[in-house]
Structure 1
């Protein structure tokens, strides 16, 4: 008799049962031991440079949503770790990514933000490029001279659209294996049909070193002390489950009302009850945190800033249904402002205080407890990539 791999639905039902037990018995997921991380991890310019080269410029980064550029001709231009990036959907519906740099004199061919066009035009000298990145027009070409247009298109980047998200590798000619990297985790986003959702907009905030900020998304130990009026009334502190999908994580958080919510629901259906008694934060390594909820979804993209002590975070907001009317739009804007303010005022402000504390030299190490396994796991994987030795065993939960 062969055993069968549990379905996604069965796994979520099992997690719901674990979270119910955590609440009833006042416990949580426990690592084998506490672990220490050097404070220099958050301050060292050499590590920061290594993170740019070995992590952010090599791994698949989720840079956009299908809902941001749903139609042929739509595009998004942005800066990512100092690189100008252009993502567009061509007339056949295929998503492409390029360095947003004209091959003539290096100016951008699209302004930062979202737009729609049949071709991209450099505002410096008016050279034009097709949606496939090919150079199609040289201003006053008879006076300019001969150019090899076939070799002077926009520099393409590896790009793939999956599960309502658009992934890009920032290294030209790099290789992306999303299935091998996410190991089934994208099924969660396929299951909710994220690709058909409505993009509601984004807000940007700035804070301390990107890992200080990201640490806050990886545990619920701080809810009672840091979020007593916003998160803790819904979600108890220090009751957290963890599942690993390669370097990515699905983090389970029970609600105070989990027993009430699941009472009367057949056990076989607990896998369908997300947001009814329990929630998940989904971590896409290295820098994305997604909280999917029926009212509004917040998906944070954390990018290292121009120096080790800073990060730039883009908070994206989506939901299943389009905006109905002006009253609905006003309500959505109010929710977006609320989530942005909580994230910045309660998490990022203390993160900047932590940055100062670490730079003071008061301690050589930070300690992550047995109850903070998500943080431990994240830093283990980060170290694994920075050591750049794929023969080493991968971290496991």
Structure 2
């Protein structure tokens, strides 16, 4: 079955949900210990067994469109440098000089032919090789071939740049995404324009991420922002390995689809239904006609905190200053809604869980996305590749 047919079938399912007041359900509830959100030992295990092994989406093609472009950032405490070389190749390195450990690029974006450590001026090429030692005649003998930047596994696919934070670790995007990136190829995501980002902070990363995985809370938590467009407790889930495509029907889905041939229903995203696309372990992407929000959730620096980068993209580049002002206003609006309506209650949940009031949380049969995420998280934490993988 091709992608359009598959999405058309999902649209038909969501139409039935709205017309008959139903939602996707599994056959059980799932209990998750509250310690999953508070225990420092589990948090450390998540960093080592999940965030330093799974492919992380750290940048967009549109952030580094030109040769020499780079992005320097921190991901779960790891300093990362991503750059595009003259031949268009994208590479990732640990942003750590091989002399005394200082960064070779400041956090943020830029363009340069080489990277120079601000501490002692050692210089590295776009390929990470050490090409210059300040006052080399007084320093002593150094084998430059052995003192390059430490490279990280990196691959650019479907308009995004994926990195593994462990040097020499395997990076198999086909196995991890199981065809899910075809959605972004079909959207022509590589040719979109990066608008900018906003940063918010919240509770334990899983408390925050749980909120992206269900629509059961729309009526109570988003009565004037999301609920008028999208009915509460009405969603469809598809699994692609550990990743999830969540379908949210719009209230007007029946009125929209009745005038469209059935074979075209798979081409109507944002017209009768929407999708939230989840990249395990920490990315949520909502493609909207006006502007797309891609949230990257980074745990830490302690178990009770997360730092979320809200990235914004759209198909068309900025037209003029008025357009830029409107885009900035839209980014601020989405940031404020995400923080005030989702992250504030997450902080309250964190306090509640740390109080010891309950031994566990319960995810209902209608919260299959949350269940699936926690099942996959536990699979990674078991650190046993022979164990059966969760299935949707």
Fold-level similarity (TM above 0.5): yes
Alignment partners' CA distance in 1, 2:121 and 2:343: 42
Match among 166, 175, 184 for residue 171 of structure 1 = 166
Instruction: Please state whether the residue corresponding to 1:234 is helix, strand or coil.
Output: coil
Structure 2 gaps, min length 5: none
Task: Say yes or no: does 1:43 pair with 2:41.
Answer: no
Task: Say yes or no: does 1:112 pair with 2:107.
Answer: yes
Report runs of 4+ in structure 1 exceeding 4 Å deviation.
none
Using the TM superposition, give the Cα deviation of residue 246 of structure 1 relative to its aligned residue in structure 2, in angstroms. 0.3
Q: How does 1:275-286 map to 2 (within 5 A)?
A: 275-286=270-281
Match among 284, 288, 291 for residue 289 of structure 1 = 284
Alignment partners' CA distance in 1, 2:136 and 2:313: 45
Match of 2:22 in 1: 27
Match of 1:251 in 2: 246
Alignment partners' CA distance in 2, 1:102 and 1:295: 41
Q: How does 1:197-346 map to 2 (within 5 A)?
A: 197-346=192-341
Alignment partners' CA distance in 2, 1:288 and 1:321: 23
Task: Say yes or no: does 1:81 pair with 2:82.
Answer: no
Using the TM superposition, give the Cα deviation of residue 182 of structure 1 relative to its aligned residue in structure 2, in angstroms. 0.3
Match of 2:139 in 1: 144
CA offset digits 1:217-241 (Å, max 9, x no partner) = 0000000000001000110000100
Using the TM superposition, give the Cα deviation of residue 294 of structure 1 relative to its aligned residue in structure 2, in angstroms. 1.7
Q: How does 1:359-374 map to 2 (within 5 A)?
A: 359-374=354-369
Q: Using structure 2 for the length normalisation, give the TM-score.
A: 1.00
Using the TM superposition, give the Cα deviation of residue 305 of structure 1 relative to its aligned residue in structure 2, in angstroms. 1.1
Instruction: Please state whether the residue corresponding to 1:216 is helix, strand or coil.
Output: helix
Match among 7, 13, 19 for residue 8 of structure 2 = 13
Alignment partners' CA distance in 2, 1:337 and 1:262: 33
Instruction: Please state whether the residue corresponding to 1:104 is helix, strand or coil.
Output: coil
Instruction: Please state whether the residue corresponding to 2:148 is helix, strand or coil.
Output: coil
Using the TM superposition, give the Cα deviation of residue 390 of structure 1 relative to its aligned residue in structure 2, in angstroms. 1.2
Alignment partners' CA distance in 1, 2:4 and 2:233: 25
CA offset digits 1:176-220 (Å, max 9, x no partner) = 010011000000000001000000000000000000000000000
Match of 1:155 in 2: 150
Match of 1:59 in 2: 54
Q: State how many pairs are aligned.
A: 392
CA offset digits 1:98-146 (Å, max 9, x no partner) = 0000000000000000000000000000000000000000000001111
Using the TM superposition, give the Cα deviation of residue 263 of structure 1 relative to its aligned residue in structure 2, in angstroms. 1.5
Match of 1:185 in 2: 180
Alignment partners' CA distance in 2, 1:107 and 1:333: 34
Using the TM superposition, give the Cα deviation of residue 293 of structure 1 relative to its aligned residue in structure 2, in angstroms. 1.4
CA offset digits 1:254-297 (Å, max 9, x no partner) = 00110111121000000000000000000000000000112100
Alignment partners' CA distance in 1, 2:288 and 2:341: 20
CA offset digits 1:354-393 (Å, max 9, x no partner) = 0000000000010000000000000000000000111111
CA offset digits 1:303-324 (Å, max 9, x no partner) = 1011000000000000000000
Using the TM superposition, give the Cα deviation of residue 28 of structure 1 relative to its aligned residue in structure 2, in angstroms. 0.2
Instruction: Please state whether the residue corresponding to 1:160 is helix, strand or coil.
Output: strand
CA offset digits 1:327-373 (Å, max 9, x no partner) = 11111111101100000000000000000000000000100000000
Instruction: Please state whether the residue corresponding to 2:212 is helix, strand or coil.
Output: coil
What is the alpha-carbon root mean square deviation over aligned residues?
Answer: 0.4
Alignment partners' CA distance in 1, 2:227 and 2:66: 40
Match of 1:377 in 2: 372
Using the TM superposition, give the Cα deviation of residue 35 of structure 1 relative to its aligned residue in structure 2, in angstroms. 1.0
Alignment partners' CA distance in 2, 1:360 and 1:106: 41
Structure 1 gaps, min length 5: 1-5
Instruction: Please state whether the residue corresponding to 2:62 is helix, strand or coil.
Output: helix
